[in-house]
Amino acid sequence: MKNIIAKLGVAWFTCLVAMFLFVGCPMNEKSPIGFRLPEGSIWKGKTAFVELGCIQCHSIEGEDLIPELEAPRKVHVVLGGEVTRVKTYGQLVTSIINPSHVISATPKAEFTDTDGNSLMPDFSEEMTVRQMIDIAEFLQARYEVVIPSHAYGDYTYGP
């Protein structure tokens, strides 16, 4: 009898492990897994970065942005290089389209208003999706951003 219980236990455990391997962890609805932008143009991204006025507050490590500003910036956050926080593709895009979600760089107070929101304006009305794709492509190279290596389509079960 003891033996059977032990065997059932092992079977149950194996089953759990198998379920975990096949189904994976229960996924958060807002998980970034599977998020992937189409390829963009670095050159167009650089143009959009200047045209949208990102250069009002940002310079980029090791990059000459034309035109250089004449007046000193009120807010200055250097993007790219080793000192920045953005590490993943998701973080990079989020910091562009939802800046207050991930506030970067210390000291925070310098870059936020009294409510703790980012001083970076909301570009979602004026930036086209194409510009966002190109800007992500342009900045990615400056950040050594990690792109998720898999998308939903890579997991196919059965026929």
Choose, by CB under 6 A, the member of 40, 59, 90, 96 that binds ligand HEC.
96
Q: Could you tell me which stretch among 13-21, 25-33, 81-89, 146-154 binds ligand HEC (CB under 6 A)?
A: 81-89
Residue 40 makes CB contacts below 8 A (sequence gap 6+) with: 130, 133, 134, 135, 136, 137, 138
**Tokens representing 24?**
């994976």
Choose, by CB under 6 A, the member of 88, 105, 130, 146 that binds ligand HEC.
105
Is 111 among the residues that bind ligand HEC (CB under 6 A)? yes
Task: Give me the least distance between CB of 106 and ligand HEC, in Å please.
Answer: 10
88, 68 contact by CB (below 8 A): no
Which residue's C-beta sits nearest to ligand HEC? 104
Question: Tokens 């045209």 belong to which residue?
Answer: 51
- Taking the least distance from each CB to ligand HEC, the nearer of 14 and 56 is 56
Tell me the three state secondary structure of residue 79: strand
